[in-house]
Amino acid sequence: MDYYILEDKIPKKIEFKDLWKYKNKACQIIWQTEIKKILITTLFFGWADNLNDEKPILFKTWISGINSDYQREYSIYEEAEIGHQRVCEMIKNKKNNES
């Protein structure tokens, strides 16, 4: 398992022994948006299993407040930012269509 902190929007690999020094940077909510009682959250995880030498999955977006198992995962900050915005737009459009 590899460990990371987020510095200036860039994941930085750290040693496990140093994880405690960065506890506020190792796992944190990056964005959280509420749209008509539905909560969209994007989180930076400070750890990743890098299987098959792929890019580590360090960000995750999910929806709360509705019966949904929707989740998206990202490797870099910019992907996570765009993904969060897309989910917000998806929820806004769905809510507007239901009105």
- Per the listing, tokens 């509705």 go with 66
State residue 26's pLDDT score.
76
Note the pLDDT of residue 99. 58
Q: For residue 29, is pLDDT > 90?
A: yes
Give burial (CB, 10 Å; 0-12/13-18/19+) of 59: buried
Residue-range definition of the domain harbouring residue 18:
2-98
| Integer Cα distance of 35 and 95 in angstroms | 9
> What is the reported pTM?
0.85
Which residue has better confidence, 1 or 81?
Answer: 81
pLDDT at 78: 97
In the chain, the percentage of residues whose pLDDT exceeds 70 is: 91
Number of separate domains in the chain? 1
